Amino acid sequence: MSGHSKWATTKHKKAVIDARRGKMFAKLIKNIEVAARMGGGDPAGNPTLYDAIQKAKKSSVPNDNIDRAVKRGSGAETGGADYQTITYEGYGPAGVAMLIECLTDNRNRAAMEVRTAMTRNGGSLADPGSVSFLFNRKGVVIVPVDQDGKKVDEDAILEATLEAGADDVNDLGDTFEVISEPTDLVAVRSALQAAGIDYDSAEASFVPDTEVQLDQDSAAKVFRLVEALEDLDDVQNVFANYDVSDEVMEALEA
């Protein structure tokens, strides 16, 4: 997961000043709406909604937009769409396995756009089940190293989260990635809060069993495909089993 996370972290920094910020807002709002529809509009009793709201706030989504999304999802306000969750499986350049999570109100449109983005960028869709076995569903909490001017270290995160169910803590440079079983995600997130440690996001993700090590050329092609997919309105998340070394990342960023 490390290569994907490094790239996600790099993109997150750029996204704050990115011209496509409105598109990111729309996806975060959609997540809130669906979470409220599935589990009710009270964040205190709906951990998925709580985490969706926190992620939106971290990304500077206006509170008014968040409140309206909760009301639409919970039925307190009309106008919400009937979103369905669909996961597509496929392969990218260098044989990288990919899972593409969509939230859509039009399955045909989502399928066509995902297929087009894959084929135009060196990828191809695969049959259901042919890729998903390479991934495990895990709880992933992203913790920034810089906590209001102070630095948090791996030991402090482990001490706070081990008893709550954390399996692993990965150092990604500017952030730490805390891995747990999906059922322990809320407990891990709550343990961090109780210890006074801030976090950027907490959500269930697909973590690969094995990773494909990419060289600079392959990494550039895979990143191009991931960006093309994430640029689609219906695509919420892209998970892939690649790893990219720090040296290759630095070469690409240069």
Sorted by where each begins, the domain ranges of the chain are 2-74, 84-133+209-245, 136-208
Torsion of CA 98, 101, 105, 110, to 10 degrees: -10
pLDDT-derived band at 80, boundaries 50, 70, 90: low
136-208 carries CATH number 3.30.1020.10? no
Length of the chain: 254
Close Cβ partners of 229 (under 8 Å, ≥ 6 residues apart):
100, 114, 117, 118, 235, 238
Output the pLDDT for position 201: 87
Q: What is the fold, at CATH topology level, of the domain defined by 2-74?
A: Arc Repressor Mutant, subunit A (1.10.10)
CATH, range 84-133+209-245? 3.30.70.980
Query: 7 or 61: whose pLDDT is higher?
Result: 61
**Average confidence score pLDDT of the chain:** 87
Say if residue 155's pLDDT is above 60: yes
pLDDT-derived band at 9, boundaries 50, 70, 90: very low
Mean pLDDT of 44-59: 90
Query: 29 or 22: whose pLDDT is higher?
Result: 29
pLDDT-derived band at 81, boundaries 50, 70, 90: low
Query: 50 or 76: whose pLDDT is higher?
Result: 50
Query: 245 or 198: whose pLDDT is higher?
Result: 198
Output the pLDDT for position 18: 53
The pair of three-digit structure tokens given for residue 100, joined into one six-digit string: 């593409």
Residue type, 235: V
Stated pTM of the model? 0.83
Percent of the chain with pLDDT over 70: 91
Say if residue 250's pLDDT is above 60: yes
Say if residue 15's pLDDT is above 60: no
Indicate if 136-208 has the same CATH topology as 84-133+209-245. Answer: yes
Report the 10 Å Cβ neighbour count for 239. Answer: 21
Helix (H) or strand (E) holding 74: helix 63-74
- Taking the C-alpha atoms of residue 115 and residue 223, their distance in angstroms, rounded to an integer, is 17
Output the pLDDT for position 73: 87
Output the pLDDT for position 171: 87
Burial 51-71 (b: 16+ CB within 10 A, else e): bbbbbbebbebeeeebebbbb
Output the pLDDT for position 82: 80
Say if residue 240's pLDDT is above 80: yes
pLDDT-derived band at 234, boundaries 50, 70, 90: very high
Percent of the chain with pLDDT over 90: 59
